[in-house]
Amino acid sequence: MAPMPLPKRAEGHDRPAAIIAPSILSSDFARLADECKRMVDLGADWLHVDVMDGHFVPNLTLGAPIVASLRRHTAAFLDCHLMVTNPEQWVAEFAKAGADMYTFHLEAAAGPGADDWHQLSPDAMNASVEDLCHGVRNAGMNVGIALRPKTPAELVAPYVAAGLVDMVLIMTVEPGFGGQSFMPVAAAKAAVLRAKFPDLNIQVDGGLAPNTIERAAQAGANVIVAGSSIFGAPNPAGVIAQLRGAVQAAAASGKPAH
């Protein structure tokens, strides 16, 4: 089965269409299916699912069984972010569960530790990462690669250039827990990738809210993950619209990412 198509770049825009993906980590887990429906009804494009194994990051959250349960209640695009030590282990399970996007960490795919980006090169592909990209796509899911805040954006470029990656996720907080403060320096990595790859879907996750969205939008992001700022808002639909509006305005401004 082919992966679900992703948004394309329209003429006159510097990036693909805006996508707002509320993180269900901030939802009421006792009402998860209802919360997901509420987000879609309020204008969300995707549902972002944070998967943590308690090893790659110091938290334990949702897994493939939850994704499978959600799939029975929603047709929404399920954007799964695997913060796990062995991402190759879970490809088949998440494909079977109905995930649409399988985003693994470059650092995890390169080796067993969070700092294994040091062994990667901006000029060559790592065989394990390359194999995992093929495996995810062959399983019928879109391929996402995530970068922790300290991992240089240049290290993912060879995989994007080779056509192996559908989306790059730039973490603007240390992965593991919701509600952290946005890191502008990490968001600036989006500008590096946007300048090289205008058609790439670039996701930013961590501390995104109405008061930080401009930095991410101006850097070139088009896929915005937000948790507490949407779920905790008195008017979640208004926040979703504001996040989308900032990305759309930046995309059509004609200004280079910076």
Q: Please tell me which residue in 14, 53, 100, 205 is annotated as part of the active site.
A: 205
Annotated ligand binding at 205? The verdict is: yes
Annotated ligand binding at 115? The verdict is: no
Annotation says 123 is catalytic: no
Q: Please tell me which residue in 14, 45, 50, 100 is annotated as part of the active site.
A: 50
Annotated ligand binding at 48? The verdict is: yes
Annotated ligand binding at 27? The verdict is: no
Closest to 247 (Cα-Cα) out of 183, 194, 196, 174: 194
Query: How many CB atoms are located within 10 Å of the residue 218 CB?
Result: 21
Annotated ligand binding at 118? The verdict is: no
Q: At what angle do helices 64-71 and 32-41 cross, to 10 degrees?
A: 60
Closest to 8 (Cα-Cα) out of 191, 241, 222, 254: 222
d(CA 33, CA 15): 31
d(CA 147, CA 145): 7
Annotated ligand binding at 179? The verdict is: yes
Annotated ligand binding at 176? The verdict is: yes
Annotation says 79 is catalytic: no
Annotated ligand binding at 178? The verdict is: yes
Q: Which two tokens stand for residue 187?
A: 């968001």
Question: Would you say 120 and 110 are in contact if contact means Cβ atoms under 8 Å apart?
Answer: yes
Annotated ligand binding at 81? The verdict is: yes
Known binding-site residue numbers for a divalent metal cation: 48, 50, 81, 205
Known binding-site residue numbers: 23, 48, 50, 81, 176-179, 205, 207, 227-228
Catalytic residue positions, numbered: 50, 205
Known binding-site residue numbers for substrate: 23, 81, 176-179, 207, 227-228
